Each structure stands twice: as C-alpha cells, then as structure tokens.
C-alpha cells in the first residue's frame, strides 16, 4: 500500500464520521440519552481527526492529539456504559474506572510513552476495558427475561461496533511501537486495515443514531 493511497483511505475513514454526526444534529431532540452521549463522542472524534489530519498533511507529529483523545474518549464511553449497565454494576465502579484510567494515561505519557510516541499502553488498556464492558452488556441482554427488538436498540448497535473495533485493533495497538518503527508498506497496510475497521465502526454509529429506540 502506497503512502498516497494510505493517506486517502485514512482521510475517507476519518471524515466518514460526518454522516452520523450530521444525522445526530438533525435528530438531536428525538435521541434518547445514550444516543445523545454517542453524539458527543462523534463531535470529539470529528474534532480530533480534523486536527490530526491537518498536522499529518503538514508533516508534523500528530501523536500528542491522540494521547489526550484517548482519555476523553474513554470518559465518553464509560459514561455510555454507566447508563447501559446500571442494573448490574454500581455507579462507583465506573467512577473508579474513569479516574484510574485517566491517571494511568497521565503517568504513561509522563514516564513511559512521551507525547510524541504512539500511546500503545493506554490504547491497549482502553481496548481491554471496552471489550470487557461490551461483553458485559451482551451478558446483561442474555439475562433479560422480557423480549425486546434488538434491531431497535441503539445500544445494541453501538456495543456491537465497539466490540468489533476494539477486538480487531487490540493486537495492533499493543505491537505498534515495537513492530512499526518506521513508515513502510507493511505499516501502511496494517493501518489501512485499521482505517477500514474504523469505517465499519462508523456504520454502526450511523445505525445507532438512525433507528428509533424501543419505548420502555
């Protein structure tokens, strides 16, 4: 995969989030609480990708952006799961996870992986935590006695998207700093696959915003 093709693919993947974001803005007053929190995550993602792509095209290191994005991203995700899993986990668990992960990220960037390195430690832990939360949500669905239409449940689509995305990229996040120390065809190929998975996640985001939630 050439650098030019990789750049175009990454650009398309990054800004595909505009579709669910515009949809969220259009439907905002009809969204349920989880859909509204997803819309905030979409805004965060859009701003981050805009800044990161501007820096990348100017041949500047854009990795500091992702250090801070990782923290805020997890806070948004944990807020969503706090609502979705409130019946099986106490609120204080999510507070502990949010504070602990944020502190871990700060320590990581200060002492282990600087702002100008890919924060593989933080993204790996993030992936493990979100996968655990995602599996917990599916377990909670299996335990429900009442019948619900999952295709009308925004959290089902959002959760499935998170599980696919973080499961697919967990190994990439972990090995990036040791395996891909320079930009070459292999690294472009692997991160190109990441861009494709990211696009799939955006499709799930779009479905989660588009559907009308079940009436509880």
Q: Indicate the pTM of the whole model.
A: 0.89
On the CB side of 62, how many CA atoms lie within 13 Å of its CA? 14
* Positions of the chain with pLDDT lower than 50, given as ranges: 180, 216
| Full DSSP string of 64-126 | HHHHHHHHHHHHHHHHHHHHHTTTTS-HHHHHHHHHHHHHHHHHIIIIIS-TTS--HHHHHHH
Residue 149's pLDDT is what?
75
Residue 214's pLDDT is what?
64
131-186 tens-digit pLDDT: 999 999 999 988 875 656 788 899 999 999 999 999 988 877 666 655 545 555 65
CA distance 33 to 39: 10
Segments in the chain forming alpha helices (H): 3-15, 18-27, 33-57, 63-84, 91-107, 120-143, 154-179, 185-210
For domain 3-210, give the CATH superfamily. Rhodopsin 7-helix transmembrane proteins (1.20.1070.10)
Residue 180's pLDDT is what?
47
């Amino acid at each position: 995969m050439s650098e030019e093709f990789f750049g175009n693919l990454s650009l398309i993947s990054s800004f595909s989030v505009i579709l669910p974001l515009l949809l969220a803005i259009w439907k905002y007053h009809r969204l349920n609480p989880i859909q509204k929190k997803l819309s905030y995550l979409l805004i965060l993602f859009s701003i981050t990708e805009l800044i990161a792509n501007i820096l990348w095209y100017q041949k500047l290191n854009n990795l500091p952006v992702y250090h801070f994005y990782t923290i805020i991203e997890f806070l948004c995700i944990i807020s969503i799961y706090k609502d979705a899993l409130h019946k099986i986990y106490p609120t204080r668990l999510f507070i502990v996870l949010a504070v602990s992960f944020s502190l871990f990220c700060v320590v990581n960037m200060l002492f282990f992986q600087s702002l100008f390195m890919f924060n593989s430690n933080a993204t790996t832990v993030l992936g493990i935590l979100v996968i655990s939360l995602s599996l917990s949500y599916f377990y909670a669905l299996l335990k429900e006695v009442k019948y619900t239409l999952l295709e009308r449940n925004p959290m089902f689509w959002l959760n499935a998207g998170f599980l696919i995305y973080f499961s697919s990229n967990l190994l990439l996040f972990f090995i990036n700093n040791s395996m891909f120390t320079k930009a070459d065809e292999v690294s472009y190929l692997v991160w190109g696959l990441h861009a494709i998975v990211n696009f799939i996640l955006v499709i799930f985001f779009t479905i989660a915003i588009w559907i009308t939630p079940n009436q509880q």
